[in-house]
Structure 1
Amino acid sequence: MTAPGTEQPLSVSVVIPCRGHAKELDACLRSLLQQDYSGSFEIIVVDSAADDAVLAAGGRYEQVHILRDPGGLLPGEARNLGASRSRARWLAFIDADCVAQADWLRELLRPLQQQMHLAAGAVGQARHWHPISVIDNMMQFAGQSPHQPAERHKIVASCNIAISRRDFEQVGGFPATQEACGEDVLFCYAVNRQWKDAIFFTPAACVAHQGRATWRSLWHHQFRFGQARGRLMLELTQAQRALGRHTWAIPAVMLRRLGWLAQRTFRNHPLEAAQLALFSPVLMVGLAAWSLGFRAGCRAETFNPVAYGDGKT
């Protein structure tokens, strides 16, 4: 890659939102600095909490720009800030707790060079046999398994995506929400409204995600995901949201989500199905947290869904 300040024009700006995760950030940065990519690119870390440990982790690499904001930016806000300070034609987004394969950037940009508007890569396991980490990742990224074929998707996670600066600005970046997650689904809604069949998933562009490693972090993380699903009306009808308010509906919500995960993992790869079965006690805890969060989100004041897609599309 090319260091900042050189004359070679930049082709890609890699934006990393980071709040904590200083140790994981170092591994992420090292994987980016070892990319097998012939073009020039910059790395922008948005330190959302002005964390000195994050500054130290990124500051040891002269190729890395660090933007600090003590206000505690949410992930979408951090990505927008990084994009606003970028200098390249393409924007690539990766999370601080992800490690990119050596050909990640090259493969992630390939669909954009073939006229797709949003490219997304696979999200694999960094801790292959850690029960909590595996389940946490499956519950988030079963739809972006490295074992899935390359195909068009409707919704993808923002920890592994790329888009042109022009298209990013045209859809208005990541929407502002009061939730710590779910902004990537709203972003995909905006992309899908702008262009038909615009999102392409390529498993060759793979990152390994750390996943949560403690019971406490798993519970809080999955609760927040369920809460965002209910409050932001993500792939949800008004009738489903009304049912989700009731405590008696929690077992049905858990069963439905379990069915989706089981179907997806069995379709992806036998190993994923085996892990889902082997770590089923952890899965039940994660499903309970998600479902309780979903109930809380359904009971909360609805975030204006009209601007970003209201319910199933």
Structure 2
Amino acid sequence: MTGPDPTSTLPPGFVVVLDEKTRVVDNGRALLGGAPTTHLLRLTPRARALFSGRTLRVRDAASAKLADRLLDLAIAHPLVGELPAHPDARCTYVIPVHDRPGPLDRLLASIGPSHQVIVVDDASTDRAGIAAVAARHGARLLALPDNLGPAGARNAGLREVRTPFVAFVDSDIVLAADTVPTLLRHFTDPRTAVAVPRITGLHTASSQTWIGRFENARGSLDLGARPASVRPGSYVSWASTACSVARVAAIGDGFDESMRVAEDVDFGWRAVAAGWRVRFEPSVAAAHEHRAAFGDWFVRKLQYGTGAHPLALRHPQSVAPAIVAPWSAALTVALLAQRRWSLPVAAAICGVTAVRIARKLDVEGSAGIAARLTAGGAVGTLLQTGALVTRHWWPVTVAGCLVSRRVRRAAAVAAVADVVLEYANNHTIELDPPRYWLAHRLDDVAYGAGVWLSALRGRSVAALLPQLRRSGTSRKPVASRRNNASSSALRSAVSSSSHSS
């Protein structure tokens, strides 16, 4: 992928709003937030005057420069409801399909008429059924002689696109009328290459199994309700291309056809590495028909995990299952030791960390802010450790439980705590706690097994090893098919910068 034009700027009328986690500190003289590293952005009086509450509208070169900086640091996001329409929003839908005429018919009906649609038949056995559905909806059919997989099928369709934008939509998706039009508004930012909606569960008769209800509450593709700049290590570190809109001029040849899984993660990370922005816009959604039969579901989760090693080969700095700062590593070791001195030492580590952050912040109320950041980092460290114990490293955990009482205690806490927290914070769960817990643990087992399988095949443990990084680093990888809350473990690493306007 080639990078964006370095001279391009945000157009007049472009609006950004501060992220919900961004704090206005020091009596309005600074902003504290961002991802994957937390930044302290100091504002000049002229820059402060550009804001209206928590929003900023581009009116001139100065406001465009500040808005661009806020987007770069993920301190703010585009306010999509107030973005101007793109002057040329022509878009072609590319739909890869393999032997699913029923879901394809449902998807094409949700897209509706008057759209350019290319259905790519990836060597289906029921070619006639796929062709009949495409013809009934007026879609162009591109039949492949050999099965190329999702990446190859999308690329085949991409080569036929003649519009500025392309919407990649899997056949098991159902689109709302406003999903793609809303995503297209993001491209008024000339540096946006890809925009994706929230992927929610499609409620059908078959989705009412206990696995289906778990997946509707905690689907691997559902990245949450918080807008994000998708980038390695952020709270949204990857985005699915089950439904995505892309700028054709930005994505080059598209997907890596040698990858049958995790090609969407690689696609987004390459765009970010080239200097483009990838936006996650949860105000609109695409409903996905999750696998609801246990066998299909378990195998799919395992397949997700097998993408870890291929990603490690292509993005070695972005696939570690955990990134730890020295202080959070020391905190983890102290707590896992489960000695009498563990809690006092952990408290001392947090205290020293809070003092160091307060000194670095140097703003009014820095002590309280530093305490909150440290507490958040400590909670994130515990969540990250629990995820390693139950997900990525579960084979090691099982072995350790056979010989160590301390490992058994740590595993028991980790195996219960995350489900308790999710049940407390997610009121949409339609599954009783015992079956939700079981499905959660089976999800972890399947994904972790896939990671280990890919590591064995590749003869490399790169995708299993955590990385130790000092405060202030710009990226914190999260290599999981879940929106990993543990990425907050390092957010007390504050980078200070200033803005002159």
TM-score (norm 2): 0.50
The C-alpha deviation readout for 1:143-187, integer Å capped at 9, x for no partner, is 2x3xx1333222211112111110112xx3111324x22000001
Q: 3-state DSSP class of the match of 2:428?
A: helix
- What corresponds to 2:179 in structure 1? 104
Correspondent of 2:193 among 117, 131, 149: 117
2:251 equivalent to 1:174: no
CA distance 1:31–1:183, change in 2 (3 Å): same
- What corresponds to 1:149 in structure 2? 226
Alignment of 1:127-166 (within 5 A): 127=203, 129-136=208-215, 138-143=218-223, 145=224, 148-154=225-231, 155-166=238-249
The C-alpha deviation readout for 1:203-243, integer Å capped at 9, x for no partner, is 233110000021111121111111112443274239999x9
Alignment of 1:277-288 (within 5 A): 277=433, 279-288=436-445
CA distance 1:94–1:265, change in 2 (3 Å): farther
Q: Give the superposition deviation at 1:298.
A: 1.3
Correspondent of 1:86 among 144, 161, 166: 161
Percent pairwise identity: 20
Correspondent of 1:289 among 446, 449, 454: 446
* Aligned mates of 1:132, 1:258 — CA distance in 2: 19
Q: Give the superposition deviation at 1:250.
A: 6.4
- What corresponds to 2:145 in structure 1? 70
* Aligned mates of 2:104, 2:412 — CA distance in 1: 33
CA distance 1:158–1:110, change in 2 (3 Å): same
Gaps of 5+ in 2: 1-87, 232-237, 324-387, 400-409, 463-474, 479-501
Q: Give the superposition deviation at 1:264.
A: 7.4
> Relative to structure 2, which stretch is displaced further, 127-136 or 84-93?
127-136
CA distance 1:287–1:246, change in 2 (3 Å): closer
Contact 1:136 1:218 in 2 (8 A): no
How many residues are aligned here?
284
- What corresponds to 2:284 in structure 1? 205
Contact 2:200 2:222 in 1 (8 A): no
Contact 2:200 2:219 in 1 (8 A): no
> Relative to structure 2, which stretch is displaced further, 209-218 or 250-259?
250-259
Contact 1:254 1:288 in 2 (8 A): no
* Aligned mates of 1:229, 1:212 — CA distance in 2: 21
* Aligned mates of 1:259, 1:91 — CA distance in 2: 42
* Aligned mates of 1:79, 1:212 — CA distance in 2: 22
* Aligned mates of 2:94, 2:270 — CA distance in 1: 20
* Aligned mates of 2:103, 2:415 — CA distance in 1: 29
CA distance 1:266–1:166, change in 2 (3 Å): farther
Q: Give the superposition deviation at 1:256.
A: 7.7
* Aligned mates of 1:102, 1:163 — CA distance in 2: 18
- What corresponds to 2:369 in structure 1? none
Correspondent of 1:221 among 300, 323, 332: 300
Q: 3-state DSSP class of the match of 2:308?
A: helix
- What corresponds to 2:405 in structure 1? none
> Relative to structure 2, which stretch is displaced further, 226-235 or 100-109?
226-235
Whose radius of gyration is greater, 1 or 2?
2
Contact 1:244 1:250 in 2 (8 A): no
TM-score (norm 1): 0.77
CA distance 1:163–1:122, change in 2 (3 Å): same
Alignment of 1:17-56 (within 5 A): 17-33=96-112, 41-50=115-124, 51-52=126-127, 53-56=129-132
The C-alpha deviation readout for 1:230-274, integer Å capped at 9, x for no partner, is 443274239999x9699435689999899788867866x4314x6
Q: 3-state DSSP class of the match of 1:99?
A: strand
Q: 3-state DSSP class of the match of 1:96?
A: coil
Correspondent of 2:427 among 249, 263, 270: 270
* Aligned mates of 1:237, 1:284 — CA distance in 2: 21
* Aligned mates of 2:418, 2:266 — CA distance in 1: 21
2:386 equivalent to 1:248: no
CA distance 1:91–1:201, change in 2 (3 Å): same
* Aligned mates of 2:142, 2:179 — CA distance in 1: 24
Q: Give the superposition deviation at 1:279.
A: 2.8
* Aligned mates of 2:301, 2:227 — CA distance in 1: 27
CA distance 1:213–1:245, change in 2 (3 Å): closer
CA distance 1:142–1:123, change in 2 (3 Å): closer
Q: 3-state DSSP class of the match of 1:141?
A: coil
- What corresponds to 1:37 in structure 2? none
Contact 1:231 1:298 in 2 (8 A): no
Contact 2:392 2:447 in 1 (8 A): no
Question: Counterpart amino acid of 1:20?
Answer: D
- What corresponds to 2:331 in structure 1? none
The C-alpha deviation readout for 1:33-68, integer Å capped at 9, x for no partner, is 16xxxxx63111111023322222222122x01111
Q: Give the superposition deviation at 1:136.
A: 4.0
Alignment RMSD, CA only? 3.6
* Aligned mates of 1:41, 1:135 — CA distance in 2: 34
CA distance 1:42–1:192, change in 2 (3 Å): same
Q: Give the superposition deviation at 1:191.
A: 0.8
Q: 3-state DSSP class of the match of 2:307?
A: helix
Q: 3-state DSSP class of the match of 2:458?
A: coil
Gaps of 5+ in 1: 1-8, 35-39
